[in-house]
Structure 1
Amino acid sequence: MPSREASSREAITTAFLSSWPLILGAAALAIPTLLILAANNWSREEGAHGPLVLATAAWLLWLQWPAIRKEGVPGKGWAVALLLGFALLLYVTGQAFDLITLSTAGLYGVGFSIFYSKFGARAIVRNWFIFFYLLFAVPPPRMWLDRLTFPLKQFVSTAATEMLQPLGIPVAHEGVVIYVAQYQLLVEDACSGMNSIFGLLAISLFYIYLMRGGSWWYSLILGVLSVPIAILANIIRIVILILLTYYAGDDVAQGFLHMAAGVFVFATALVLMFAVDQGLSRILLRPGRRTA
């Protein structure tokens, strides 16, 4: 009897051969957008989780493919036309005005429309997590990020300085500028916590889906908690940089150790999230139970 992996490969090969014109058309739309994402958003901290989201979502789809092929029923033609038309409108608008958020959202919509046309609404509902999870690969509008980032930068600057002042560290802040002895530190967007929120939320949801069975209400609780965890992690990051600046000098703080502090803090945020999950699961979920 063929293994599940062999069946998955055979099913995907058959689907590709029967739908190659559609797949080639989607690839023609996807390649330019993916190249732009790779050169811009994915190369920055705010979008570094994008390739990971795509890869893990593709893996989840691979696992579910035999069931999708078996149970899928083609969607309604008029609904496919509406979905695909709207998605293409978003894509063309994004390409015309160099708006990567619209281009990526349009590309997502094209993939969603193709999936619906082949397998119908029931398959989408059964695999809701994959489609929701893929939304984290769509970069949020820059304008939204700017509006949310500035007050967060002010908050983490205030929190970090007030944590260190009682310890005798000569630190103060004015807006997003932190004064440490004779040095000045400017709190950049990356230190606000906003960039970490998206990556941490995406990884947390993937972890919850694998470990807890994709419970929507449990995912919602952990998702909400990921926001203060990411902000706390970035407060710790700024505290570390202030201490490095004070004790080792600005060159050390802004060199390799600046990047190392960012990696360490993101890892700390993940550990905190996993710890919160373990605690909540003992309270909200019965041991050994997988929620649907």
Structure 2
Amino acid sequence: MSATAAAAHPPRPMAFWLVVGAGWLTLAVPSLWDFMFGQWSAYSQGHELLLLSVVVWLMWRQWPSIRALPDRTPAWWAWCSLALGLLAYAFGRTQEFIRIEMLSLWWISVSILLACKGWAGLRQTWFMWLFALFVIPIPFSVVLMLTAPLKEAVSALATVILGAVGYPVGRSGVVITAGQYQLLVAEACAGLHSMFILEAMGLLYSYLVNHQSWLRNGLLAAFAVPVSFFANVIRVMILVVVTYHFGDAVGQGFIHNFAGIVLFAVALALIGLVDALLGLFLPDRQAEPKA
């Protein structure tokens, strides 16, 4: 990079950032609306609004430190990166490729930060951009491919546990029989979507607690996957027990959605428990008192 490209720039006024933000919202709002509430809502997995809210909160939390960084004169490659992102957005928007739209919005955001604050800005906010990738939907073909073994495993373990405590349950593939009722373990109950959001939440938890041990942070993020699996087993067991005692209408009504809330609460509690157990082996060192 040339000395001119890397030179410090006079501090940009707040009006500049408001204009940039308004321009970004002009692109983002139609795409996000179509994705979560419009023509692409079928692709939504239900957690994107929550994750997007977390991204906004992270930006608000880090904004003072971002503003404190010295402004830079944009390098030529930063302009090229921004132009590439805008072209990708135009292509995705006109050709109706929602994932290209979403990914290009992410790329445009990163390019704007690099143009204004340089690599220091990206180092300051790396976790926010990593977390924002979880908003982009998983291709449905990948969902179908990965949920097949997950559905089998979730339904098998739930059947074994319920059978061990005396419930008259059986299983044929991903169909669980409980008394006179049959329940299909569908993609939504298989755990991939919840694993996706809980992995994001596990990373967020690791980032916020900021343990001194990178190994502990990495293990904590990795354990989000088995934690989500067992939480989904609990969810399926709740639905089977409720359906067995109160009927299919109750099991597929409010209780079905409430079981999703229970899933999230149980998973977060298990992540906290795993963190506490990891702390027994990888504790944070106490800061040494200054002389």
Pair in the same fold by TM > 0.5: yes
| Alignment of 1:274 onto 2:280 | no
2-structure distance, mates of 1:21, 1:261: 43
Instruction: Please say if residues 16 and 23 of structure 1, whose CA atoms lie closer than 8 Å, have aligned partners that are also in contact.
Output: no
Instruction: Please say if residues 147 and 187 of structure 2, whose CA atoms lie closer than 8 Å, have aligned partners that are also in contact.
Output: yes
SS of the residue corresponding to residue 223 of structure 2 reads helix
1-structure distance, mates of 2:65, 2:84: 28
1:111-138 C-alpha deviation (Å, 9 max, x unpaired): 1110110001122113211111121222
Residue 157 of structure 1 deviates from its aligned partner by: 1.1
Instruction: Please say if residues 34 and 41 of structure 2, whose CA atoms lie closer than 8 Å, have aligned partners that are also in contact.
Output: no
Residue 94 of structure 1 deviates from its aligned partner by: 2.5
1:54-93 matches, within 5 Å, as 54-74=52-72, 77-93=75-91
2-structure distance, mates of 1:173, 1:70: 60
| Alignment of 1:178 onto 2:176 | yes
Residue 76 of structure 1 deviates from its aligned partner by: 5.2
Match of 1:221 in 2: 219
Number of residue equivalences: 277
Which amino acid counterpart does residue 102 of structure 2 have in structure 1?
T
1:24-35 matches, within 5 Å, as 24-35=22-33
2-structure distance, mates of 1:278, 1:67: 31
Match of 2:51 in 1: 53
SS of the residue corresponding to residue 285 of structure 1 reads coil
TM-score, with length taken from structure 1? 0.84
| Alignment of 1:200 onto 2:201 | no
Q: Compare 202-211 and 156-165 and name the one that shifted more.
A: 202-211
Match of 1:9 in 2: none
1:1-292 matches, within 5 Å, as 15-39=13-37, 47-74=45-72, 77-212=75-210, 217-288=215-286
1:134-173 C-alpha deviation (Å, 9 max, x unpaired): 2122222222222212221111111111222233322222
Structure 1: 5+ residue stretches without partners: 1-13
Residue 57 of structure 1 deviates from its aligned partner by: 2.6
1-structure distance, mates of 2:40, 2:263: 19
1:19-76 C-alpha deviation (Å, 9 max, x unpaired): 4554333222111112123316997896443233333333333333333233345375
Which amino acid counterpart does residue 114 of structure 1 have in structure 2?
I
Q: Compare 222-231 and 67-76 and name the one that shifted more.
A: 67-76
Instruction: Please say if residues 88 and 106 of structure 1, whose CA atoms lie closer than 8 Å, have aligned partners that are also in contact.
Output: yes
Match of 2:5 in 1: none
2-structure distance, mates of 1:134, 1:42: 19
Residue 216 of structure 1 deviates from its aligned partner by: 5.5
SS of the residue corresponding to residue 65 of structure 1 reads helix
Match of 2:3 in 1: none
- Give the root-mean-square deviation of aligned CA atoms: 2.8
1:127–1:22 CA distance, 2 compared to 1 (3 A): closer
- Please state which structure has a larger fraction of its residues in helix: 1
2-structure distance, mates of 1:173, 1:71: 59
Residue 288 of structure 1 deviates from its aligned partner by: 4.9
TM-score, with length taken from structure 2? 0.84
Instruction: Please say if residues 211 and 284 of structure 2, whose CA atoms lie closer than 8 Å, have aligned partners that are also in contact.
Output: no
1:30–1:213 CA distance, 2 compared to 1 (3 A): farther
1-structure distance, mates of 2:179, 2:243: 9
1:225–1:252 CA distance, 2 compared to 1 (3 A): same
SS of the residue corresponding to residue 74 of structure 1 reads coil
SS of the residue corresponding to residue 172 of structure 1 reads strand
Match of 1:4 in 2: none
Instruction: Please say if residues 36 and 44 of structure 2, whose CA atoms lie closer than 8 Å, have aligned partners that are also in contact.
Output: no
Which amino acid counterpart does residue 78 of structure 1 have in structure 2?
W
1:238–1:84 CA distance, 2 compared to 1 (3 A): same
